Structure 1
Amino acid sequence: MSVTTAIELISRGTTAVPAPTSTCSPALARDPWAFDALPMPEYGPGASMGDTAPPATPRQGELPEEYRTASAPDLDRRIRAAKETLGESVVILGHFYQRDEVVQYADFVGDSYQLARAATERAEAEAIVFCGVHFMAETADMLSTPQQAVILPNLAAGCSMADMADIDSVSECWEQLTELFGSEPDADGRQPVIPVTYMNSSAALKGFCGEHGGIVCTSSNAAAVLEWAFERGQRVLFFPDQHLGRNTAKAMGVPLEHMPMWNPRKPWGGTDEQTLRDSRVILWHGFCSVHKRFTVAQIDKARAEFPGVRVIVHPECPMPVVDAADEAGSTDYIRKAIDAAEPGSTFAIGTEINMVNRLAAQYPQHTIFCLDPVICPCSTMYRIHPGYLAWVLEGLVEGRVMNRITVADNVAEPARVALNRMLAVRP
């Protein structure tokens, strides 16, 4: 049963829904276009609904009525017909966290690292329809050819974590760190600070890293990227996800006392000069609201109810959760671990619910469940719906490109430098 179907049944009060039988918000049962016309931008119901969306958050215009009122079978027919007509001129990329009703149409499904590579390998396609979130579509635009149009079916599919670090705040932090450390390399040629941005960030921040000798990372290659950065720098400024930075550096042997937090809302990031001088990794005050939901208590409960359960969590989870789990790894790591397991294995997974449910359906020989008993998907991934996909695909059939994502050349050029460094660092 898909997450969307389960939410619909729960909202109707049916008794036919297997556990879990609750969601984090009743509003998840509403169609995503219900939130397109709200007076202020918001991420929508789901894990990020408590996060504040910046005023500049992209807004989606009104979806034409024919797509809002179409039945699921009608949308399915229209999407498949459009795909057949377009053929190899269009490629659809789908993130692991995307809802089943959308990801079923993807030509390639993967995590942000894999999708970044896929965007470079579809040169024959005239259009790349990205069923993910805004920063992913930006990355695809920068890595694809200039002739290719990258399309995000719903412009409101952003990322609350990515919005926690903006170019102005990071630039201000950099100025203060440069004032403290200077800009001259040490005797070994290492720069005072190397900026590292997680893939979950704006094109502007990727460009910032490219301009300042830095690099992009994903959860798949974060350790390899930190090794790359330590070879070139005395310390790293890691943004926007504090948990991925902390968990990765800790596993590499960096002491916690050498990983201060930089809170952009506080003077000098809320820390002090000596702490910064002693630092190896300066962590940005950002986080993923999906992975923040997982707790040690959930792990304890899973182990009590399923002796021998194998607990795997995403490294965006808080450190105590990662420490309590058996393993931590990217979405692709989780998928590969389940694929390689002996039949009859039991897994408790700490990542987005759509992916966990999909894995449970794909591997019926195992028992697979989400650590969080409440259905609470990624708010912004959930803004993509088959109605939007049908709309952009039929537009392409008619020769119209809707919701094209483009990155200005002055940003894209340095960002590609940082992205290509990332692609060259294999996990």
Structure 2
Amino acid sequence: MSVTSLPLTTRPLDPSVDHGIQAIVAGASLTATCATDLAAGPWEFDTRPGYGPGSSMGDVIPTGAPRQGELPAWYRSASEHELEQRIREAKAVLGDRVVVLGHFYQREEVVVHADYVGDSFQLAGAARSHPEAEAIVFCGVHFMAETADLLSRPDQAVILPNLAAGCSMADMASIDEVEECWEQLGELYGDLSQPDADGLLPVVPVTYMNSSAAIKGFVGRNGGIVCTSSNARTVLEWAFARGRRVLFFPDQHLGRNTAKAMGVPLDRMPLWNPRRAWGGNDRDELAGARVILWHGFCSVHRRFTVEQIDRARAEHPGVRVIVHPECPMDVVDAADEAGSTEYIRTAIAAATEPTTFAVGTEINLVQRLAAQYPQHEIFCLDPVVCPCSTMYRIHPGYLAWVLDELVAGRTPNRIQVPRDVADPARVALERMLAARP
């Protein structure tokens, strides 16, 4: 039976995506996965450049991206049960000295050990609210650990269990490319630091939380702000009150979907491709721009399509389709609702009658919600099991290892943002924290 002829949903009694992938590879499941290599331990790929199994072939990792050193043999060969026991024992020894944060998109075997589970914004807040902890173990990706370091105390150690856990979207806007874009916009609009007669700046830079600390620092230095998927509209309103136009990066889809919902015409949202002169635009297009969108995207959310939504509606009359705003515009337009991961969770939790939900976001969260709310039918729009390749680099083996290292008095994989970057980045983050929807 082909993948396309399978029913769109198979109710997962087990929230573990890893268990499902192992079953697929063993031939015990008719479901398909985007990469059978996902069944292997991530240490099989950590020494190689790349985002790991399941990533898009078009996502080219930057030269010099962090790589993880070799994980000691015991952590690579230990069973799931052995690792679970080791993690619990280490956490018991460490007590309040350590706090473990787990992103919604983490594999279930990691999330069960997290003291707090949330999106990148919520977890940054959790890091900030635990000044008593000596170490913050951030089970997420690199830009999230950087943000936790920016918002935590200087003497707290923020640890990323696997240094190879990066983010292809964040890497799509490098500091060199953004600064070059800024220089070109200055040639067109004049001095970008000088407001006009109405007190408005020519351009206000806005970066999505899913960006490097260097990009956040750039935004802070240039009068801009950070946004999340939950407060993007509020942030754009803040920016429009201060500037003629916005440079939004790195995710074009969140920027386009949010600005469109605010009434900004599509023809006033040119796309800036950093590999082309003037971003691939002419001066007239840029002169009339209201939002300049960076040519970036999330490879996970780009997998969702209108055809998947059409199929869900055909097979499940009355289905409620909710997608993340990182999805392409046509997918957001075809869905019933679009919102952040927290919005999706809240919407499902608030449903009082048994409901069928088709969800367009990362599979680990979707399967966890399906197990958490068995009164509903909840399934992922994409029938192919394909988790976020970089989130998946955080394996219980790495979590057990870093906790054991902390027990031994060592601090591995510490993420520290240099002060010259950290100070302006905090300015941009504080503006974000004040921009509540």
Q: Bin the TM-score by the shorter chain.
A: over 0.9
Structure 1 counterpart of 2:109, which letter?
E
Q: How does 1:174-185 map to 2 (within 5 A)?
A: 174-183=182-191, 184-185=194-195
After TM superposition, give the deviation of residue 117 of structure 1 in Å.
Answer: 1.3
Equivalent position of 2:123 in the other structure = 115
The structure 2 residue matched to 1:352, chosen from 324, 344, 362, is 362
Equivalent position of 1:409 in the other structure = 419
After TM superposition, give the deviation of residue 50 of structure 1 in Å.
Answer: 4.1
Structure 2 CA distance for aligned equivalents of residues 327 and 74 of structure 1: 42
Q: How many pairs were matched up?
A: 421
Q: Is the contact made by 1:238 and 1:283 (CA closer than 8 Å) also made in structure 2? A: yes
Equivalent position of 2:327 in the other structure = 317
Aligned: 1:79 with 2:87:
yes
Q: Is the contact made by 1:43 and 1:49 (CA closer than 8 Å) also made in structure 2? A: no
Structure 2 counterpart of 1:6, which letter?
G
1:103-137: CA deviations, max 9, x gaps?
A: 11111101111112112111111100000000000
Aligned: 1:213 with 2:223:
yes
Structure 2 counterpart of 1:306, which letter?
H
Q: How does 1:321-336 map to 2 (within 5 A)?
A: 321-336=331-346
* % identical equivalent positions: 73
Structure 2 CA distance for aligned equivalents of residues 331 and 416 of structure 1: 24
Equivalent position of 1:102 in the other structure = 110
Structure 1 CA distance for aligned equivalents of residues 131 and 32 of structure 2: 44
Aligned: 1:203 with 2:213:
yes
Q: TM-score, normalised by structure 1?
A: 0.98
After TM superposition, give the deviation of residue 47 of structure 1 in Å.
Answer: 3.9
The structure 2 residue matched to 1:133, chosen from 133, 141, 153, is 141
1:227-253: CA deviations, max 9, x gaps?
A: 000001110000000000000000011
Structure 2 counterpart of 1:10, which letter?
I
Structure 2 counterpart of 1:286, which letter?
G
Equivalent position of 2:42 in the other structure = 32
The structure 1 residue matched to 2:408, chosen from 398, 401, 416, is 398
Structure 2 CA distance for aligned equivalents of residues 48 and 342 of structure 1: 38
Aligned: 1:384 with 2:384:
no
Counterpart of 2:379 in 1: which secondary structure?
A: strand
Structure 2 CA distance for aligned equivalents of residues 58 and 33 of structure 1: 14
Unpaired segments of 5 or more residues in structure 1?
none
CA spacing shift, 1:101–1:49, aligned 2, 3 Å: farther
Greater displacement, 105-114 / 151-160: 105-114
Structure 2 CA distance for aligned equivalents of residues 108 and 50 of structure 1: 33
Structure 2 counterpart of 1:266, which letter?
R
Counterpart of 2:366 in 1: which secondary structure?
A: helix
Counterpart of 2:185 in 1: which secondary structure?
A: helix
Q: Is the contact made by 1:113 and 1:220 (CA closer than 8 Å) also made in structure 2? A: no
Aligned alpha-carbon RMSD (Å): 0.8
Equivalent position of 2:21 in the other structure = 7
Structure 2 CA distance for aligned equivalents of residues 320 and 207 of structure 1: 33
Structure 2 CA distance for aligned equivalents of residues 28 and 310 of structure 1: 30
Structure 2 CA distance for aligned equivalents of residues 275 and 131 of structure 1: 42
Structure 2 CA distance for aligned equivalents of residues 140 and 48 of structure 1: 27
Counterpart of 1:161 in 2: which secondary structure?
A: helix
Q: Is the contact made by 1:99 and 1:354 (CA closer than 8 Å) also made in structure 2? A: yes
Unpaired segments of 5 or more residues in structure 2?
1-13
After TM superposition, give the deviation of residue 371 of structure 1 in Å.
Answer: 0.2
Structure 2 CA distance for aligned equivalents of residues 126 and 231 of structure 1: 40
